[in-house]
Structure 1
């Protein structure tokens, strides 16, 4: 056998290997520095869950057409020493991003936030429903967690209380990141409440001889009763007056809380429902808050109006008629009923 053909064959193999290496090098360079699409790639929201490994993330990106090579994604993350530093969350990504750019984004935690607003006066049931409707969490799981969640000593956990977190989920606008659990959401919202209650407010509660739990309970009633800002301190003053005289608060929202929906007009039977939350049947405050009061309702309770009134009734425009005596109160009720029925 001739040696020349042998050398020729080896040369051809060597050239082939060089070509393959060049191609591989080009592929590596392309995937490492060059995005999938050099044009205006469509931006997608990719969710990285807390339990996902770097391999899982690479596969997810590949399946969504964000990167060319899932294996290379894993190798680059490992070489850079950040394979365990990729943060969970929702990321806005597109095929016109390089792998290094994507990795850098995930290391920094440059995630997409969604805004979630809890209106003042919402209770746990309503908040859980809102979370579910906006696809931010499991409503049933959120409610179950809210039953016993009491991270701060002023949050009471009595057998009569339906949700221990009721009233302490501060009404605010929150930035929600993808992958947040129901527990993390609840923790964030209750922690926000604790930050909002200033030392001055806590001291004021002590001056009034009230625990923070009592303040929150009373504030939740004011929040649900008052429709006009100027009436909040007056309504709070009425409640304080009734408490001092040992009169039941007779707050309709407490019965509505028992019913589970905002019934416009309560019947006699409704006010006779056996429940510790029924302020028609039980003197004093209910076991706990019935909703999440806003800051204005809280301040109305901490600084109530000095008023002689013991009664109030809502007019059809949302305002209230305040009365000193029961006779005045009955006259106000009759007057409002006449307006509603078109008699006046």
Structure 2
């Protein structure tokens, strides 16, 4: 009789323990524990995050943070934080959530174009990935890295080809730079490298010229024609006389900071700068802006023609009139100058 009571007591305790464990398992692992109404919420976990930092992001999203703590402790997540961007879907259990923030690091799309300097590019990228603009700019300007990969401070921007790329949010500055170098090398495949050699330009020189072409025209159909004009000038030793390089040179001076030059004047042609292609023959030391890939390919596949001049077309905005002779160019240029004056644009 005594043994029977002991066995019954053990069975009752066992049932209580089993019920407690079942309740724990249900609450901690099987019960939905999200408190938001959207289909999904995202958390961004920094590389140096502690569990408390992760917890502070999750707490507003969960009905019961304590049950999450219990399971996180059991699954040793509290001492094994993974950085990245993670999705928490509506109706997830604690177990689902831990699995998601442990192995579900989501790639994000990073797109950029029209960045006129490394500083602006670093600021743009820092809005999308964990790395801040200071660390990005430091990595981009690292002289040892640049020299090792045949760049310098003037050509460094050319390594960053405008496009859309996938990154993990927790990518650091060096990781971003390494990926961009890989994309740059992929872009400069055997075919493009051979074309650059055939026209007597290095990849850096191609991109420098492409930046001028791109600043002259955003119309991809016209870029090969403009590139052909500049190649003709280079071939005969004529200065490029590219107005965008004058603007670039001017913007480096305190006098022109925070201004927009709408009309190139003789005063701009007198600026002392290696980027003044009216004073200096050949290509400038580096690119003056970030060209689209269309402009780079326009230089590599420039149109063969006899034009040496072009002027903006006053009757077809965004396009140009091309000329073989200076006299015809002067007619075209005067037409455009009259248009600017009529619009009240004097500087």
TM-score bracket for the superposition, by shorter chain length: 0.7 to 0.9
- For 2:30 and 2:112, the matched residues in 1 are separated by 43
Which residue is equivalent to 1:170?
161
Asked whether the equivalents of residues 61 and 70 of structure 1 are also in contact (C-alpha less than 8 Å), the reply is: no
Larger CA deviation: 130-139 vs 91-100: 130-139
How far did 1:42 drift?
A: 6.7
Matches within 5 A, 1:1-344: 19=16, 22-23=19-20, 25-37=22-34, 43-52=40-49, 55-56=51-52, 59-60=55-56, 63-66=59-62, 67=65, 68-77=67-76, 84=80, 87-94=82-89, 96-111=91-106, 113-119=107-113, 122-131=116-125, 138-148=132-142, 150=145, 155-157=150-152, 161-162=153-154, 164-258=155-249, 259=251, 263-316=261-314, 317-342=317-342
Asked whether the equivalents of residues 41 and 96 of structure 1 are also in contact (C-alpha less than 8 Å), the reply is: no
Asked whether the equivalents of residues 87 and 101 of structure 2 are also in contact (C-alpha less than 8 Å), the reply is: no
- For 1:301 and 1:39, the matched residues in 2 are separated by 53
**Change beyond 3 A, Cα 1:190–1:93:** same
- For 2:38 and 2:339, the matched residues in 1 are separated by 62
- For 1:129 and 1:313, the matched residues in 2 are separated by 34
How far did 1:145 drift?
A: 2.8
**Change beyond 3 A, Cα 1:94–1:245:** same
Which residue is equivalent to 2:255?
none
Q: SS at 1:155's partner residue? A: coil
How far did 1:284 drift?
A: 0.9
**Change beyond 3 A, Cα 1:280–1:132:** farther
How far did 1:286 drift?
A: 1.1
Q: SS at 1:282's partner residue? A: coil
- For 2:229 and 2:128, the matched residues in 1 are separated by 38
Deviations 1:18-67 (A, max 9, x none): 757743552243112223249957743211222335x4576346534434
Asked whether the equivalents of residues 124 and 291 of structure 1 are also in contact (C-alpha less than 8 Å), the reply is: no
- For 1:202 and 1:129, the matched residues in 2 are separated by 31
- For 2:140 and 2:197, the matched residues in 1 are separated by 27
- Count matched residues: 325
- For 1:146 and 1:132, the matched residues in 2 are separated by 13
Which residue is equivalent to 1:5?
none
- For 1:309 and 1:102, the matched residues in 2 are separated by 65
- For 2:202 and 2:195, the matched residues in 1 are separated by 10
Asked whether the equivalents of residues 253 and 262 of structure 1 are also in contact (C-alpha less than 8 Å), the reply is: no
TM-score where L is the length of structure 2: 0.78
- For 2:53 and 2:21, the matched residues in 1 are separated by 23
- For 1:57 and 1:97, the matched residues in 2 are separated by 20
How far did 1:209 drift?
A: 2.3
- For 1:25 and 1:166, the matched residues in 2 are separated by 60
TM-score where L is the length of structure 1: 0.79
